[in-house]
Amino acid sequence: MVNLGGAPGSGDVSPLAAALERIGDRWSPRIVEALFAGPLRYGELQAAVAGIASNILADRLRRLEADGLLTVTAYAERPPRLEYRLTAEGRALGGALRMLADWGARHGADAGGQETLRHDVCGAALEARWFCPTCDQVVDADVTHEVRRL
């Protein structure tokens, strides 16, 4: 089974805890989501992430940059212009955030009419699966082994 929580009292940080330490606040995933479409300036980000206070946005952008999930490009213009862009590591969050958004659409408090991700060809709802690229096989979650650091 995949280790999501770590052994109680072991002192080991689980992979899930490590991920949540980096992007587990209310706003960071929404900032990352807004940047999937491409680079944005500060004002554009603030408009894209409805309800975020300016000081919180500035703090989260600094944290995401420090964690290597986004880069900031400063342009020599007046007034100064900064552009925020996801790094490859930031873009790699896409799959996880899509799965979380899909789960929210199906199980959230207001999920009544929400659509899940669907296959364009047949219209069936998509499901996330564990996949082994070495064996080229889909693996059931109940037969996976605990995640280990290499």
The CATH number of the domain holding residue 40 is: 1.10.10.10
pTM of the predicted protein model? 0.71
The amino acid at 32: V
- Compute CA 128 distance to the chain's CA centroid, rounded to the nearest angstrom: 15
Determine, yes or no, domain membership for 141: no
Please, are residues 18 and 64 in contact by the beta-carbon 8 Å criterion?
Answer: no
The amino acid at 3: N
Determine, yes or no, domain membership for 147: no
Which residue reads 């309800």 in tokens?
51
pLDDT in tens, 100-111: 887 787 776 665
Determine, yes or no, domain membership for 52: yes
Determine, yes or no, domain membership for 136: no
Q: Which domain holds residue 72?
A: 15-108
pLDDT in tens, 53-102: 999 999 999 999 999 999 999 988 888 889 999 999 999 998 888 888 87
Determine, yes or no, domain membership for 3: no
Structural domains in the chain (count): 1
Determine, yes or no, domain membership for 149: no
Determine, yes or no, domain membership for 123: no
40-41 vs 70-75, strand pairing mode: unpaired
